[in-house]
Structure 1
Amino acid sequence: MIFDTRACELGEGPLWHPLRGELFWFDILNRTLHSQKQSWSFSGYVSAAGWISRDALLLASETGLIRFDLASGSETPVVKAGTSVTRSNDGRADRQGGFWFGTMGKKTEKGAGAIWRWYRGELRQLYTGVTIPNAICFTPDGTAAHFTDTSLGQVMKVALDAQGWPRGEPEAWLDLARAGLNPDGAVIDAEGRFWNAQWGAGRVACYGPDGVFLNAVETPGAPHASCPAFGGADLTTLYVTTALEHMDAEARTRHPASGQTFAFKGVARGLPEAQVIV
């Protein structure tokens, strides 16, 4: 069940690289990118990734997007995004080869963040006034996107055009605030089911395409589940990052698996992460 014991202060952004057959994930607050084989340190915060090629990733960083070479460890700036008080948070490639990512205040300042999309050299700020952007994911056919502001507890859904840009206004698709749940990262499986890590609840909850709750996978000993991803040779392993953030010494003792990365085999079948087109 525990995939990796390296404890992350704020684990996020798991990505199964389909060409390498390897999982990557981040410890945002410790400015680190992990893989199964090694770790890389950065001067600023890094939080999410899409794959460009076997050896190149597009990373959401503190100041925007960077191209990262896994072989050499070199960084190449791609585009700037956000302000001096923000950092990146959740992000994922869409089915059209674009990359969505969120920014938020480094001190979680209310409404300081935004949700962005980078596509074939163009960056657009899609939504502003966001406090904690999360749950960025896409329907299997690429015709809709989900996202949330965790502080509000509502998962939104917006239709996309053929190029992957929003078409119309987002609508509330899943209201978790009523249940006191905090939606964090999310991924959609091959059947169109929405898998959502829920901060503070120690679980990843699964909802049907209609938003109806189906079941949940718990992360024992780690209440702050932060983001899921499907991977493994047949894409039937659910990987889940967790966090130590906001836990005092007593809480860390009571929840010894916090910050570690989980793996649950045979939960569902995911979809390969789309390649980012540059």
Structure 2
Amino acid sequence: MTEPAIRILNAPRAHLGEGPSYDPDRDTAWWVDILEKRLFEAPLAGDAVTVHDLPVMASAVAEVDGARHLLAAEDGLYLRERAGGRLIRHCPLEADDARTRSNDGRVHPCGALWISTMGRGAEPGLGTIHHVAGTRVTRLYGGLAIPNAICFSPDGATAYFADTAVGLLHRVAVDPATGLPAGEPGVLYDHRGGAGGLDGAAVDAEGRIWCARWGASCLDAYSPEGERLRTIRVPATRPSCPTFAGPGLTRLLVTSASEGMDEAEKRADPEHGRTFLIDLGVRGPIEPRFRLAA
């Protein structure tokens, strides 16, 4: 199968690029550099990328409305005003535990958010996945290390998640009206012993799960039945998270990182920390907006 065309966005390298989202009304992508406390704004029709400094470590971006974003950050969820960048804390998230920070997250089709936390040093057992409806935070799954790959089927009836440190991609039935689990998680794909680790993921309009494989320079596509269908090479060793973007939502915007790399590893990986736009030719769904009221 022919490899798709890949565009490298004209953005500064990220230390830990993560949490991308796409605004179709403005044809603009947003993502963060967690460790450097930066938010990137990239109109995809042009070449200019704006970098916004943040006062907190943010890990994920979600659309709210034409005037605001939601940022998942180290001590809570924040509303960010597009005009001026003012942050207003929407609700706390493990704000009383200095050991943890936010990590991977995705808005369910109903407008609720699944957001994970993890130890600042990726300590086993400190990772948790939460459900947020309005300002109500519900703990779903704990005892994890690096919760990732949070995404949902287009009909909102299935959720997916992984623990990168373990290598299992899980699926669980959820209530489409609330985004809350309606059953117990099961294993969709067993990646234990495989190269790299399961990181961020996005689901296309046909229900396939596209998961970044940290440390292996690729993205993998899985069927809803758990078959690995396709692998796409990415020109960076540590791709971190994809989201569908661009007119028609037929491209994947993929963040990457250099976290943990020494100078020799960086020289061997010249595109480390870059952000990529992959002309996939597979359509994604429009990202749901986070609902401020439960």
Normalising by structure 2, we get a TM-score of: 0.92
The more displaced of 232-241 and 18-27 is: 18-27
1:38: how far off?
A: 1.4
In 1, distance between residues paired with 2:134 and 2:79?
Answer: 14
* 2:230 aligned residue: 215
CA contact (8 A) 2:149 2:202 kept: yes
Instruction: Give the partner amino acid of 1:4.
Output: N
Is 1:250 the counterpart of 2:264? The answer is: yes
In 1, distance between residues paired with 2:144 and 2:280?
Answer: 35
* 1:227 aligned residue: 241
* 1:143 aligned residue: 157
* 1:133 aligned residue: 147
Q: Which runs of 5+ in 2 are unaligned?
A: 1-6, 43-48
In 2, distance between residues paired with 1:4 and 1:145?
Answer: 33
Identity %: 39
**Structure 1 residue corresponding to 2:185, chosen from 152, 170, 177:** 170
* 1:32 aligned residue: 38
* 2:169 aligned residue: 155
* 1:4 aligned residue: 10
Deviations 1:193-215 (A, max 9, x none): 01000000001111112111111
* 1:51 aligned residue: 63
Instruction: Give the partner amino acid of 2:222.
Output: Y
* 2:198 aligned residue: 183
* 2:4 aligned residue: none
Instruction: Give the partner amino acid of 1:264.
Output: I
In 2, distance between residues paired with 1:64 and 1:120?
Answer: 13
1:252: how far off?
A: 0.5
1:178: how far off?
A: 3.4
1:18: how far off?
A: 2.4
State the secondary structure of the residue aligned to 1:165.
coil
**Structure 1 residue corresponding to 2:54, chosen from 42, 47, 58:** 42
State the secondary structure of the residue aligned to 1:58.
strand
CA contact (8 A) 1:238 1:267 kept: no
State the secondary structure of the residue aligned to 2:9.
strand
State the secondary structure of the residue aligned to 2:201.
strand
* 2:3 aligned residue: none
In 2, distance between residues paired with 1:94 and 1:68?
Answer: 20
Aligned residues, how many?
A: 277
- The list of structure 1 runs, each at least 4 consecutive aligned residues, that deviate by more than 4 angstroms after superposition, is none
State the secondary structure of the residue aligned to 1:258.
coil
Normalising by structure 1, we get a TM-score of: 0.97
